[in-house]
């Protein structure tokens, strides 16, 4: 009996259901096809992802199995239905333009906190995205807040107005790059810019680096409106009774506790006791506000959470928040709110 793998050429059409748009799923399928010598194509449609795969039967079988088994970190594959179709014989594998029409049911992923690779670039003075507040890749960045329609492709996002520069376009088109088909791909040369704005809407004068200037404003005790993904936060330094008191007075929020933004886990540990579960939650991609037991020596204003044994903490979830928290170097109050008349200045992407 032969144990040789089945070399008969087969072609299947597979529908992948679940959260598979905006998570680098098509690039993953492309690389998988390349690895296994599979021909065919992949596309996003209103329901999810559709793939056609052609090659030796054994390779096609392995390919279909790995569509769910090896899916990228942000994807959630609910099911893969594969059915045989006629062999076509065209070599190569491609990502084809999305299909339009029909009912939109494909789930779009939530925004996801900046990944370690993007953070490393942000901190690297030689990287072209050094301190760029809107850096992202297929493993992190905005999704839900920039999507205006499905399928999830750049023309149907708020990034449509930003034409990619040559360097970004090259990353976007390179199957081996982690920004391959990253829809919000951007850099300082072609993407959104951050601005520091006075209350009357004019740019703050003489500012070279708006984020550094915003951090200095916070250190000077100002209240800042910071535009993040999906809305504004009001921010001020958390270790200043004067700043926190002023924010409370303006928000008419007598004694409800304020949540705090800290630069990293070490900074969090200076304020609260963290067990393993709390730390895992704090560093998870959704970046929730985590309540943890306050340390007696936590250096924050008494009016942050009067009488409460716990503090609500979160870690930065966008490059802008990372930069601001690190530049300020002190815990910051981060509370939702509209800028209205509360903030001294606004720090926002344009
Ligand atoms: Zn990233
Ligand atoms: Zn660019």
- How far does the centroid of ligand 2 lie from the alpha carbon of residue 44, in Å? 24
The CA distance from 316 to 102, in Å, is 38
pTM above 0.85, yes or no: no
- Give the whole-number percent of the chain exceeding pLDDT 90: 61
Ligand number, closest to the Cα atom of 122: 1
Percent with pLDDT over 70 in the chain? 89
Ligand number nearest CA of 192 is 2
DSSP-H helix ranges across the chain: 25-36, 57-69, 116-123, 166-173, 210-219, 241-251, 265-269, 276-282, 319-328
CA 131–ligand 2 middle distance (angstroms) = 14
Spacing, Cα 282 to ligand 1 middle (Å): 18
pLDDT of residue 3: 57
Q: Which ligand is nearest to the CA of 129?
A: 2
- The whole-angstrom separation of Cα 240 and Cα 219 is 9
Ligand 1 centroid to 135 CA: how many Å? Answer: 7
| Per-residue pLDDT, 107 | 61
Please name which of 14, 282, 20, 288 lies closest in space to residue 138, comparing C-alpha atoms: 20
Residue 22 pLDDT greater than 90, yes or no: no
Per-residue three-class SS string for the chain: CCCCCCCCEEEEEEEEEEECECCCHHHHHHHHHHHHCCEEEEEECCCEEEEEEEEEHHHHHHHHHHHHHCCCCCCEEEEEEEEEECCCCCCCEEECCCCCCCCCCCCECCCECCCHHHHHHHHCCCCCCCCCCCCCECCEECCHHHECCCCCCHHHEHHHHCCCCHHHHHHHHCCCCCCCCCCCCCCCCCCCCEEEEECCCCECCCCCCHHHHHHHHHHCCCCEEEEECCEEEEEEECCCHHHHHHHHHHHCCCCCCCCEECCCHHHHHCCEECCHHHHHHHCCCCCCCEEEEECCCCCCCHHHCCCCCEEEEECCCCHHHHHHHHHHCCCEEEEECCCCCCCCEEEEEC
First to last CA, the chain: 67
Mean pLDDT lowest for which of 28-37, 180-189, 197-206, 248-257?
248-257
- Ligand with minimal distance to 121 CA: 1
Which segment, 23-27, 132-136, 140-144, is predicted with the most confidence on average? Answer: 132-136
Give the ligand with the smallest distance to the CA of 117: 1
pLDDT band at 227 (very low <50, low <70, confident <90, very high): confident
Distance, CA 118 to ligand 2 centroid (Å)? 15
Mean pLDDT of the chain: 88
- Ligand 1 centroid – CA 141 distance (Å): 7
pLDDT band at 104 (very low <50, low <70, confident <90, very high): low
Say yes or no to pLDDT of 102 above 50: no
From ligand 2's centre to the CA of 189, what distance in Å? 5
Higher-scoring residue by pLDDT: 21, 330:
330
């Amino acid at each position: 009996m032969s144990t040789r793998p089945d070399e008969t050429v087969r072609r299947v059409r597979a529908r992948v259901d679940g959260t598979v748009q905006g998570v680098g799923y098509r690039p993953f399928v492309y690389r998988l096809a390349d690895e296994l010598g599979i021909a065919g194509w992949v596309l996003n449609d209103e329901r999810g992802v559709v793939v056609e795969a052609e090659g030796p039967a054994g390779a096609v079988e392995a390919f279909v199995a790995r569509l769910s088994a090896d899916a990228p970190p942000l994807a959630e594959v609910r099911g893969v239905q594969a059915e045989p179709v006629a062999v076509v014989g065209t070599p190569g594998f491609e990502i084809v333009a999305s299909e339009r029409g029909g009912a939109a049911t494909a789930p779009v992923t939530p925004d996801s906190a900046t990944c370690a690779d993007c953070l490393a670039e942000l901190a690297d003075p030689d990287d072209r995205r050094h301190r760029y507040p809107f850096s992202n890749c297929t493993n992190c960045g905005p999704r839900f807040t920039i999507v205006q329609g499905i399928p999830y492709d750049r023309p149907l996002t708020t990034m449509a107005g930003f034409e990619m520069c040559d360097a970004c376009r090259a990353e976007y088109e390179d199957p081996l790059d982690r920004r391959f088909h990253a829809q919000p791909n951007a850099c300082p040369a072609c993407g959104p810019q951050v601005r520091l704005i006075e209350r009357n809407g004019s740019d703050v004068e003489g500012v070279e680096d708006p984020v550094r200037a915003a951090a200095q404003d916070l250190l000077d005790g100002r209240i800042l409106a910071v535009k993040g993904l999906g809305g504004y936060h009001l921010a001020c330094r958390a270790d200043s009774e004067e700043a926190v008191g002023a924010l409370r007075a303006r928000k008419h929020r007598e004694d409800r506790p304020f949540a705090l933004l800290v630069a990293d886990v070490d900074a969090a540990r200076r304020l609260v006791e963290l067990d393993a579960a709390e730390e895992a939650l704090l560093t998870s991609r959704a970046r929730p506000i985590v309540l943890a037991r306050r340390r007696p020596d936590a250096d924050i204003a008494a009016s942050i959470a009067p009488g409460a044994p716990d503090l609500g903490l979160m870690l930065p979830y966008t490059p802008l928040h990372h930069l601001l928290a690190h530049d300020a170097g002190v815990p910051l109050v981060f509370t939702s709110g509209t800028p209205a008349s509360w903030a001294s200045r606004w720090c926002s992407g344009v």
